[in-house]
Amino acid sequence: MKVFDKIIDINSYIQHQQELDKTIGFVPTMGALHIGHISLVERSVAENDLTVVSIFVNPIQFNNQSDLEKYPRNLQRDKEMLENAGVDVVFIPSVEEMYPEPVTTTYDFGSLSTVMEGEFRPGHFNGVAVVVRKLFEIVMPHKAYFGEKDFQQLQIIKTLVRDLTLPVQIEPCPISREDDGLARSSRNARLTPEMREAAPFIYAQLLEARNKASSMTAEELESWMYDSFSKHQLLELEYFKVANGESLQQRRGKIEQNDYGFIAVYAGEIRLIDNIRLF
């Protein structure tokens, strides 16, 4: 497995591979890898000649300094996991390498980026779009793999690729879950034992919401969810919204085909997100 930390080096290596007609699959990550990441990597390995993974904790997508500082990092273990999964190239740039000057580019994704995560984490999606576009320019992948846990991020990236005609195919990958239903996330490593035990309540409630979706309006389902979390001793609901899976606009009235329930919850200091297709 080749490890690069300079843009010029990985870029010329990839250019050479492109000249050899190799297809490139790409999995961008922020490290602290878990089985969910590895499932994306395995798809890429199966579908491409060459798999590239980036590990970069992107400072400009964090709107909370303490979240950035405490973001779990475990480079040695990450590299071992990637090597075992059959990855060909890992790109681990420094912040100075990616951003030698302060970033000035801004993207406007309209209402896609002002709801849910966009509302609660201002600037987050601009930071994601900047880094993903930059990584696409560097890695020049044919296919790029993104998990559906970050569903809104996936919609934003699909829009970025479509609006700018970027020559990459976006491959959505299903949410990877622990046996007790908790969506896998690097942030889970920071949960206290008590919060880790409480956290599967989130997915249990999403399943319950899906059961109720045919007999409730979107408003009723949302207030049922707020009600059940208000009785919970440990978990604090930030939002639960019923929204369309394409436009991400909040549903009012009858829940329709391709509507999802989107949720963000605080388990102590740790913010967890999840979603479920309701219909």
Binding residue (CB under 6 A) for ligand PAF from 58, 113, 176, 185: 58
Q: Is 124 a known active-site residue?
A: no
The residue to which tokens 């908790």 are assigned: 182
Nearest-angstrom CA–CA distance, 268 and 270: 6
Q: How far is residue 26 from each of residues 81, 99, 127, 166, 230, measured CA to CA in Å?
A: 16, 21, 19, 14, 41
Site pattern 128..147 for ligand PAF (x: CB under 6 A): x--xx---------------
Site pattern 63..102 for ligand PAF (x: CB under 6 A): ----------------------------------------
48 binds ligand PAF (CB under 6 A): no
Nearest-angstrom CA–CA distance, 130 and 85: 28
**Closest distance between ligand PAF and the C-beta of residue 59, in Å?**
10
Q: How far is residue 188 from each of residues 130, 148, 258, 271, measured CA to CA in Å?
A: 26, 17, 28, 9
118 binds ligand PAF (CB under 6 A): no
117 binds ligand PAF (CB under 6 A): no
Q: How far is residue 109 from each of residues 113, 178, 203, measured CA to CA in Å?
A: 6, 32, 29
Active-site entry in 37, 124, 142, 232: 37
Task: Rank residues 39 and 153 by Cβ distance to ligand PAF and give the closer one.
Answer: 153
**Residue count, binding to ligand PAF (CB under 6 A):** 10
Q: What are the residue numbers of the active site?
A: 37
Summarize as ranges the residues that interact with ligand PAF (CB under 6 A).
Answer: 28-30, 58, 61, 128, 131-132, 150, 153
